[in-house]
């Protein structure tokens, strides 16, 4: 999806930049398989997540030519449909699969409209509305990022047990961060569907969404 979008819009001074919140050895095979022509970064310490207050993947931030945030972090066209998947067969109800595809397509179309029309696009937020949607991290979130970086440092220094304890502490301090939980659990998105702890955590959400609703026309 992102490669196609980048290829079709790069002549309009648009580029995609993807950031993997993971270990290099986990992210690299997927990057190499995709063969992207846009920049792909690996952020094992979650600096980008801390700067933009990101908590899950995929999330997208729209940034214009002047470096201004046009749309703050939001799920990049992702939808809750996976929660209705048959957990044994991994099959998705047809209507849910159709809605997932529709959501992705609507999000990509919104990006195309923004690239073509700039601030005149109905999907571009002016500074006031963009600022209103930004969520400032609290003290626990700030402490969680410090604990996460310490845990990563200890693991790289050959102290994995101590490091994992700090990663767990980071996840405890910032329970909304699926990025932190995913990394301390030692799995990437492709392995989540078969992980009991993941489904237990998802089920504990109750009516709360895994992917927050995107405030955009055409989104469920």
Cβ-count burial of 21 within 10 angstroms (0-12 exposed, 13-18 middle, 19+ buried)? buried
What pLDDT, in 10s, does the model give residues 173-220? 999 999 999 887 765 555 555 578 889 999 999 999 999 989 898 787
How many residues comprise the chain? 220
Q: Which residue pairs, CB below 8 angstroms and at least 24 apart, start in 128-137?
A: 130/68, 130/69, 130/70, 130/71, 130/72, 133/71, 133/72, 133/215, 134/53, 134/69, 134/72, 135/53, 135/72, 136/53, 137/50, 137/53
Q: d(Cα 214, Cα 75) in Å, to the nearest integer?
A: 7
Half-sphere exposure in the Cβ direction for 200 (13 Å, CA)? 4
What pLDDT, in 10s, does the model give residues 125-171? 999 999 999 888 999 999 999 999 999 999 999 999 999 999 999 99
Q: Is 204 helix (H, G, I), strand (E, B) or coil?
A: coil
Tokens of 131: 């600022």
pLDDT score recorded for residue 194: 57
pLDDT score recorded for residue 113: 97
Residue 83 pLDDT exceeds 70: yes
Structural domain boundaries in the chain: 139-203
What pLDDT, in 10s, does the model give residues 93-118? 999 999 999 999 999 999 999 999 99
**Confidence at 90, pLDDT banded by 50, 70, 90:** confident
Q: Which residue pairs, CB below 8 angstroms and at least 24 apart, start in 154-163?
A: none
CB 20 within 8 A of CB 54: no
CB 111 within 8 A of CB 124: no
Q: What 3 state SS string does 153-186 have?
A: HHHHCCCHHHHHHHHHHHHHHCCCCHHHHHHHHC
pLDDT score recorded for residue 218: 78
Tokens of 216: 């955009």
Window from 20-34, 67-81, 129-143 with minimum mean pLDDT: 20-34
Window from 5-9, 58-62, 123-127, 184-188 with minimum mean pLDDT: 184-188
């Amino acid at each position: 999806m992102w490669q196609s979008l980048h290829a079709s819009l790069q002549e309009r001074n648009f580029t995609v930049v993807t950031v993997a919140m993971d270990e290099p050895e986990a992210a690299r095979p997927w990057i190499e398989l995709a063969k992207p022509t846009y920049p792909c970064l690996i952020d094992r310490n979650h600096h980008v997540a801390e700067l933009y207050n990101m908590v899950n993947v995929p999330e997208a931030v729209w940034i214009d030519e002047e470096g201004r945030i046009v749309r703050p972090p939001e799920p990049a066209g992702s939808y809750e449909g996976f929660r209705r998947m048959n957990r044994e067969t991994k099959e998705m109800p047809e209507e849910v699969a159709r809605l997932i595809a529709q959501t992705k397509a609507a999000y990509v179309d919104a990006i195309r409209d923004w690239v073509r029309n700039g601030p005149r696009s109905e999907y571009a937020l002016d500074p006031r509305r963009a600022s209103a949607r930004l969520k400032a991290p609290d003290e626990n979130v700030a402490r969680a990022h410090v604990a996460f970086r310490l845990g990563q440092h200890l693991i790289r220094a050959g102290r994995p047990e101590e490091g994992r304890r700090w990663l767990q502490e980071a996840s405890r301090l910032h329970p909304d961060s699926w990025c932190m939980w995913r990394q301390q659990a030692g799995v990437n998105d492709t392995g989540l569907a078969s992980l009991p702890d993941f489904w237990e955590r998802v089920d504990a959400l109750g009516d709360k969404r895994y992917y927050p609703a995107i405030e955009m026309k055409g989104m469920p």
